Structure 1
């Protein structure tokens, strides 16, 4: 029975299993038939539920923000709709909560009247409140000798104004010839909160020395100055450099194409902590300069927009504070391999030493050095266009307007009234066209070379002397056919009697200046040498001259820095040392302080300071002259205009005030002579009075007798005749033997 029971049970189970299999097979068939519609319905339900929850959370967030009761002044009404990539325009409404756009691929924080919602976001995905308020101030720096780079710089300024975003301020533009590097390249300029500076530098490349080379030297010295931080310009948001070159002269970058732009880019990388906002741009002036520049500007515009949005140069970019890439350029590689252009004077000279040394011209083969002013250079073209005759590689000659005036009997310069020099007998020359200052009143405005030490070819003094005389007389001969030239004066002009070493540049800069002076004196040509009080060693080694000038353009350090813009960093110490040397030479030769008055620069409240400087150097004479405005556009770039030219009565007022200050100090000076037409007045020490009369005229024959005797003598030993009555203070100073004329050459009755 049990067996039968087990068999029956087994059969029933088997039957049950078969019916179950049939049931599963039926359900599987139904699933296969309906699975696609079911999955679609479930997906729709899921997406609907997710959308509903998202909308509910958004509304809850907006309600929570309203409940925070943030002060009303925190959120200012919008004056314009906000437009962001992927977000619809949000019009300003009185409702503090706006609905998000459903078209966004990525949900972003809600906006409440133009400010961010309270949800925390990653700084790299969206700017924080501080970053959102950043405004970029582009500062365009350029150097231009012929004007081409200046035109490009102004074009960049216009492009930035047109294309830059609202967060970019109007670009400021600066000529490197007319700024003080310490104001911009030792520390970042001070600015209002939220304003970040971006430096843009546009420079040409020349194989001659220009102001640009001194700028490169300044960057190098700043980097190596132990008193200054390694990266003092980290306060700026970024920088970029664009260079102009000529591939005909330098086919490749290795050969020098845009080499100066590369040097500036390298030093700025060091000074800014590698905040290179955009790569170095380079263009060939004869091919693709304009196209490459436009590409560079486009990159600058995009970069500044990104900076304003993110607050940094970008993730992974060196200098942004983010991760540094693995191919970082080595910091001091160039220091180990080569130096930069070094000083202004060794343009084109590459050395393997980090510090350039002074050159001993007695043992050095000067054929390896380059000329100061090559004949193919724009400096040469510019100076010759201004009327200069270039002698050799670094000297020049020019005849001034007073020479032309004297030839026609229309009057000589102030030297005729003060010292008895007729202008048509005077040669104006210089053995060095290079200068160590960039004075705001200089007529050359950066067209002449500049430098702090001599590292050019050195022409022999005999060649300079012969070339200067030949060029001067050649220019005099061009006046032969000019109407009004007097035959007797033309013949007199063929015999040079005086030499004014004050044309342009720094005469004592020339290594063989003493030999040059000897050549002048051997021919009985008097020497009037002017220096700018920046080379004390050369001044101390100077031989006797007929009259030694030192330019005193300011009474204090700050004013001197602004008006003379010296290249030497220790310019004030050099200046004071030169005044001490002038005092020590006071009893060897006639010494003169030349004060050039520039209204708005060195006149107001400086009389007392000038008196102190006179007390320090005790010069024989003090010439006070109003600045002459040359009327060029570059003068405006230096901050100079006709408003800076003092009237003659203002010069007279200054002179009388200075005379009073000197008397208070017990210094025995007086107002001796004047030349109103030159806006110039002469003060002299009382030792140049004889029988109560001023004797400022020089006895030139007596001077050469004393010089050739070999015996010591002083400046009073070659005083000439009494100063003419017409030249004395209060009488105007115009020689009655000449005839004053107006601008059209018509006689003026005095």
Structure 2
């Protein structure tokens, strides 16, 4: 076998190489730890020096942008890096998001084209009316031009000192860019605020108006702009021109396009409707309706120029309730605060020049062996502004006038303004609800009725222990409060312009709001002020103050509440405070009998199932025989769902159906016939669950019922100073209001709680 052997020189060279490698390895093993520490320290120092040098020389924005790796075109210019004018600018929305390391999150939201104008407080607001119109034949353009000419003079006449109202401008919807006016507000000085007045005809063909409607709708739903992109506007109003020959009713298309524009403008402006939608028939009442609308517009513009807003509450409507329901209950709170056990003790001592408290109500003279007590230094306020009573009544929608009076608009007033019907007083007596003011000069009452609508929050007392406000203060205060509440309805959808205009002149006054109006010491002076302005007076009392009732001067119609047919039932229902309540009650019926030939007298029966319906028709007939009223109203109780009523035993089970009210009225009428009393069922208002009986010998003339009041005739006879009887100012009852016809005005539209048309079978 052959063995390979290395040459001798090669062996010597390899030995030296091995020796050197062993030397290096020995050195590494000896010094590797110190060398590693030295290298690590050098790298650390280099890192710290570089970081400090970068922070001192680099812009913070550049650091954030580099961390996010933002493209060059999106970088924000800084002082160190001048911006290229050709490159767009994108602002970083959130600094915290910018410094975060990780995937970018883009957040965004819809923005308005132009926000509500913000102006300096020392800069006067300039009101700029803009008159928009659309026209094919030229007639609408002519009316818009006339408005442009007459509006400045009307504004100058109504408010000569209003220098911040600019001259109106006329704009044709066919020639303007919608985006300039109806996607956002016009670009102008921030001290200028706009009022939009829109005049529109109605066409059954495709026109530019159809495009305008489509634009409004698309703008509202466009995700790129705010849903209320015109919320910075001061207000708007629309007037429609129509022809009832082609479209007899609104449901069939009368002024339908104006109604649509009004609806979408309400959405785009966040309900800043400055005045109700006006509508006029070009062949009948156009000039009258347009004049009424223009008059209302003038008042609104003046108010806007003076205050810069449409009033209290939500924009445009003053937080007016749109439904026909009563105000909601106090939100989960007790309806009777702990300190309301006896509300007649509320109030603080107030200096007053009025005479000291006097008992105006005590029936008969009460002898007492006790020594006379010293009179208080000054009477208290009935409803102080700091009291829980004031807070509760104000929350329920009352306007408190002075220290003991109040005013409120009822749901029927709101209903009538929207063309949805008036209350039973219109069917029975010809009172339009939107012309009626509901008030009381005394919030206090001497009963605590189980069906009281005021949740037990109004004061109670048997004698007048409070300071007395002068009648002129009350009269002016309740009128101002009523008109203020009516104005709050001008932005509510569906309010008719012509009825809103009519409502700004009170023609009737129902003294039946809450409390006992006849309790007020100066009730005759107050009703005299109503009559001086030809405002009719409907006064309701609870038959507990016979002395005041005996001295009451004639009113348009005098009511007495008859809530029970016997003493025990009256105690349970009315819960009177007077111990001699039944004697007072009977005496009031006698007084009413004496007055029946000098003024219209009415018994009002409120039926409460389980309290005063079952087998009590005979008892009520006895009371009618005693008082012989001109009229008898029978009405089912309205349940308010209050805790106080529930505590008194009143629930929905106590509310009678209309069929039950009808059956009771028939039984009562039969009981009256058996006593030889000549009464008949005259009229009804099924919506209010109310039926009217009247004396046939007095109000059934020529084969027709005459329960409606001729108010002009009443004031003529009253102002003459000569004695007159109820028969001297009566008028025929309309056919639709008679018994068996339902009693709902055919000129109005009955709706359900959601505003949908409701068909009622009679």
The bucket for the TM-score relative to the shorter chain is 0.5 to 0.7
Tell me by how many angstroms 1:425 deviates: 0.2
Partner of 1:533: 543
Partner of 1:212: 342
Give me the whole-angstrom Cα distance separating, in 2, the residues matched to 1:358 and 1:571. 28
Which SS does the other structure have where 1:592 is aligned? strand
Which SS does the other structure have where 1:538 is aligned? helix
Partner of 1:690: 701
Corresponding position: 1:432 with 2:562: no
- 5+ residue gaps in structure 1? 1-144, 151-174, 178-202, 217-244, 256-340, 346-352, 360-365
Corresponding position: 1:370 with 2:370: no
Q: 717, 723, 729: which one pairs with 1:712?
A: 723
Corresponding position: 1:597 with 2:727: no
Partner of 1:625: 635
Q: 515, 520, 536: which one pairs with 1:510?
A: 520
Does the Cα contact within 8 Å between 1:211 and 1:344 map onto a contact in 2? no
Give me the whole-angstrom Cα distance separating, in 1, the residues matched to 2:461 and 2:512. 17
Corresponding position: 1:524 with 2:654: no
Tell me by how many angstroms 1:358 deviates: 12
Q: 735, 745, 749: which one pairs with 1:735?
A: 745
* Cα distance per residue 1:639-674 (max 9 Å; x no partner): 111000000000000000000000000001000000
Q: 668, 680, 683: which one pairs with 2:690?
A: 680
Which SS does the other structure have where 1:368 is aligned? coil
Give me the whole-angstrom Cα distance separating, in 1, the residues matched to 2:341 and 2:427. 37
* Cα distance per residue 1:553-589 (max 9 Å; x no partner): 0000000000000000000000000000000000010
Corresponding position: 1:641 with 2:651: yes
Q: 708, 712, 729: which one pairs with 1:701?
A: 712
Residues 356/682 of structure 1: CA separation in 2 closer, same or farther (3 Å cut): farther
How many pairs does the alignment contain?
417
Alignment of 1:554-569 (within 5 A): 554-569=564-579
Give me the whole-angstrom Cα distance separating, in 1, the residues matched to 2:332 and 2:418. 40
Q: 640, 653, 668: which one pairs with 2:663?
A: 653
Q: 375, 383, 387: which one pairs with 2:397?
A: 387
Does the Cα contact within 8 Å between 1:344 and 1:450 map onto a contact in 2? no
Give me the whole-angstrom Cα distance separating, in 1, the residues matched to 2:637 and 2:722. 39
Which SS does the other structure have where 2:406 is aligned? strand
Residues 494/148 of structure 1: CA separation in 2 closer, same or farther (3 Å cut): closer
Corresponding position: 1:581 with 2:581: no
Does the Cα contact within 8 Å between 1:432 and 1:509 map onto a contact in 2? yes
Does the Cα contact within 8 Å between 1:146 and 1:378 map onto a contact in 2? no
Q: Normalising to structure 2: TM-score of the pair? A: 0.52
Partner of 2:271: none
* Cα distance per residue 1:675-730 (max 9 Å; x no partner): 0000000000011011011000000000000000000001111112x111110001
* Cα distance per residue 1:95-128 (max 9 Å; x no partner): xxxxxxxxxxxxxxxxxxxxxxxxxxxxxxxxxx
Partner of 2:486: 476
Give me the whole-angstrom Cα distance separating, in 1, the residues matched to 2:358 and 2:341. 12
Corresponding position: 1:492 with 2:622: no
Tell me by how many angstroms 1:637 deviates: 1.1
Corresponding position: 1:662 with 2:659: no
Residues 342/493 of structure 1: CA separation in 2 closer, same or farther (3 Å cut): closer
Which SS does the other structure have where 1:372 is aligned? coil
Give me the whole-angstrom Cα distance separating, in 2, the residues matched to 1:390 and 1:342. 23
* Cα distance per residue 1:531-556 (max 9 Å; x no partner): 00000000000000000000000000
Q: Cα RMSD between the aligned structures?
A: 2.9
Which SS does the other structure have where 2:342 is aligned? helix
Give me the whole-angstrom Cα distance separating, in 1, the residues matched to 2:371 and 2:411. 44
Partner of 1:397: 407
Residues 572/428 of structure 1: CA separation in 2 closer, same or farther (3 Å cut): same
Give me the whole-angstrom Cα distance separating, in 1, the residues matched to 2:475 and 2:431. 21
Q: Normalising to structure 1: TM-score of the pair? A: 0.53
Give me the whole-angstrom Cα distance separating, in 1, the residues matched to 2:493 and 2:360. 44
Does the Cα contact within 8 Å between 2:569 and 2:612 map onto a contact in 1? yes
Residues 470/642 of structure 1: CA separation in 2 closer, same or farther (3 Å cut): same
Does the Cα contact within 8 Å between 2:625 and 2:677 map onto a contact in 1? yes
Q: 477, 490, 496: which one pairs with 1:467?
A: 477
